Structure 1
Amino acid sequence: MIPKAIIQNVVSTAQLFDKNTLIIRIQQPIRSTALVFSNGRIVCVGTKSVKDSEIAIGHFVDIISSASSLPIRMRGFKIQNVVSSFAFPGHINLPALYDTMRIAPPTWLAKHISYNPEFFPGMCLRLVDFRTVVLVFTTGKCIITGARTEEEIFIVQNKIYNSILMFCKNQ
């Protein structure tokens, strides 16, 4: 059974019509941080779901509107990045996984695969048909980044899980 991937961070942006510059951190209703730039761009980070990100951005716009003498409107809400993580049931034999993926890559794997433990302790996998990057570590931890939706995270996880599970020690 594949463990459920846990969303760690969602990054979204929106465009404000007025120009502002500030950092806002809130704990309620959803813990998150907004970076508001002078060109009107607002970046929301730290939420745990796409829906929470939409709610948080709306809350940030309300905060900015209440501090402004002019009404603030928002346009162009867009999810930029969804990051999630999950763990395999044991440690991963990355050298064997790397050699196998280079010699006989699965259909889901793009040509880009990198593993150089002298520079970075994890293996970096890029998938065909997705702009996501999967980082796999010897501890069995796995990070999926670059997705635009939560569904994309779960699709990617389902594609990679069984191929990597074969290299899991201590199952």
Structure 2
Amino acid sequence: MTVEIANIVGSGDLGVELDVEPLEADLSTPYSEYDPSNYHGLYVRLEENGPLITVYRSGKYIITGCASMESLHETNEEFLGMLADLGVTEEDTQTGFTVENVVCTAMLDELVSLNALAIGLGLEVTEYEPEQFPGLVYRPEEIGAVLLVFANGKMVITGAKDTETAESAYEYFQSKVQELV
């Protein structure tokens, strides 16, 4: 089974304060929304159903909804180019853009008993309260990710900074499960 990317989140800082209301009016994108009575960020999509960019008055911004690293970086570059064209930023503005979270999905080869898994993996690194949440939360210190495991074998891997970490987390978990059976 392969690990598949579900969402990648990145963030940056333009280094300038923004007046987001006029910025929304100046943008020529398929979607933009600024409603300060609802939320203080400006939502922007550069293409219909594309990644969502949330821009804040502080100049910080977050890009969500990318299915690949390439898409994340392309969206960032296009967004920065658009702001430079509007005169909001300089052409070569350094934003310190970083990947914040890579969310992936995977599937185990078998159904799992979450109660047995919680005990086998260790109660100090697992959370399983089926009355609160139907999955087991696994937070091993050895890997830079958190795994959500469901009884049907589906998994969500979150908190990774890159796809390699997510894949390593999956392989690590698979090896732990094999040790328990």
TM-score range, shorter chain: 0.7 to 0.9
| 1:134-171 per-position Cα deviation (integer Å, ceiling 9, x unaligned) | 00001111011001111111111111113336789xxx
Give the deviation of 1:102 after TM superposition.
Answer: 2.7
Give the deviation of 1:87 after TM superposition.
Answer: 1.1
Matched, 1:5 2:6: no
Summarize the Cα distance change of 1:70–1:49 in structure 2 as closer, same or farther, 3 Å threshold: closer
Tell me how far apart the structure 1 counterparts of residues 71 and 5 of structure 2 sit (CA, whole Å).
11
Aligned to 1:108: none
User: Could you state the TM-score of these two structures normalised by the residue count of structure 1?
Assistant: 0.81
For these two proteins, the number of residue pairs brought into alignment is 158
Tell me how far apart the structure 2 counterparts of residues 19 and 116 of structure 1 sit (CA, whole Å).
44
Summarize the Cα distance change of 1:92–1:71 in structure 2 as closer, same or farther, 3 Å threshold: same
Tell me how far apart the structure 2 counterparts of residues 32 and 124 of structure 1 sit (CA, whole Å).
27
Aligned to 2:55: 36
Matched, 1:87 2:107: yes
Gaps of 5+ in 1: 104-110
**SS in structure 1 of the partner of residue 76 of structure 2:** helix
Q: Structure 2: which amino acid aligns with 1:26?
A: L
Any conservation in 2 of the 1:25–1:32 contact (CA below 8 Å)? yes
* Alignment match of 2:70 (pick from 26, 38, 51): 51
Task: Kindly report which structure 2 residues correspond to 1:1-171, keeping only aligned pairs within 5 A, or say none.
Answer: 3-20=1-18, 21=20, 22-27=42-47, 31-68=50-87, 71=90, 73-102=93-122, 111-164=124-177
User: Could you state the TM-score of these two structures normalised by the residue count of structure 2?
Assistant: 0.77
Tell me how far apart the structure 2 counterparts of residues 51 and 70 of structure 1 sit (CA, whole Å).
23
| Percent identity for Structure 1 against Structure 2 | 23
Summarize the Cα distance change of 1:63–1:117 in structure 2 as closer, same or farther, 3 Å threshold: same
Aligned-pair RMSD on alpha carbons?
A: 2.3
Any conservation in 2 of the 1:96–1:167 contact (CA below 8 Å)? no
